[in-house]
């Protein structure tokens, strides 16, 4: 059983300063950057282009939770809802998601998506997200897919006649 943490000892800040080294360390800690690909410059750019983010820090300034929203004025995606393993099941992600939802309501996006691989059944549904199967597609670059250099698109397939 997890010891309950008084969230009064946790500071939540929206669109504020985030130590990118701590954020990258948190990504590595939860297993989202096993190859150590994230750089400080890229993470700083990620924060800069995010429409919204919320960070949770301990009284000692340690980053223990994070969530962000990216997109354009019409379409958004909720990304990177993460919590330090020692602080899970204590309300940190819930408070981060409340901040995310408040932002979504203020922004009035036409479409908002979230990809969930957490295995936490029902967590995102509490915030109004619904499960839709077979809608999302993931692009993974394949070696056999080559772009047409002239047009910057896939090569035209041969014309088939009836």
The domain ranges of the chain are 7-127
pTM across the whole model: 0.78
CATH number, span 7-127: 3.40.630.30
Per-residue pLDDT of the chain (162 residues; tens, 9 = 90+): 334 446 778 999 999 999 999 999 999 999 887 777 889 999 999 999 999 999 999 999 999 999 999 999 999 999 999 999 999 989 999 999 999 999 999 998 999 998 887 777 788 889 988 877 766 666 566 655 455 555 555 555 555 555
- What tokens does 73 get? 């004025």
């Amino acid at each position: 059983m997890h010891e309950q943490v008084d969230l009064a000892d946790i500071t939540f800040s929206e669109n504020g300063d985030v130590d990118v080294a701590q954020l990258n360390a948190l990504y590595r800690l939860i297993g989202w950057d096993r190859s150590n690909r994230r750089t400080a410059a890229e993470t700083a750019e990620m924060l800069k282009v995010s429409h919204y983010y919320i960070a949770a820090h301990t009284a000692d300034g340690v980053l223990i939770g994070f969530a962000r929203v990216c997109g354009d004025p019409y379409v958004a995606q909720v990304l990177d809802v993460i919590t330090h393993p020692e602080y899970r099941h204590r309300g940190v992600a819930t408070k981060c998601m409340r901040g995310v939802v408040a932002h979504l309501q203020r922004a009035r996006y036409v479409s908002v998506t979230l990809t969930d691989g957490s295995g936490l059944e029902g967590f995102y549904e509490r915030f109004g997200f619904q499960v839709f199967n077979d809608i999302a597609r993931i692009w993974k670059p394949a070696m056999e897919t080559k772009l047409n250099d002239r047009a910057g698109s896939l090569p035209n397939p041969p014309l088939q006649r009836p």
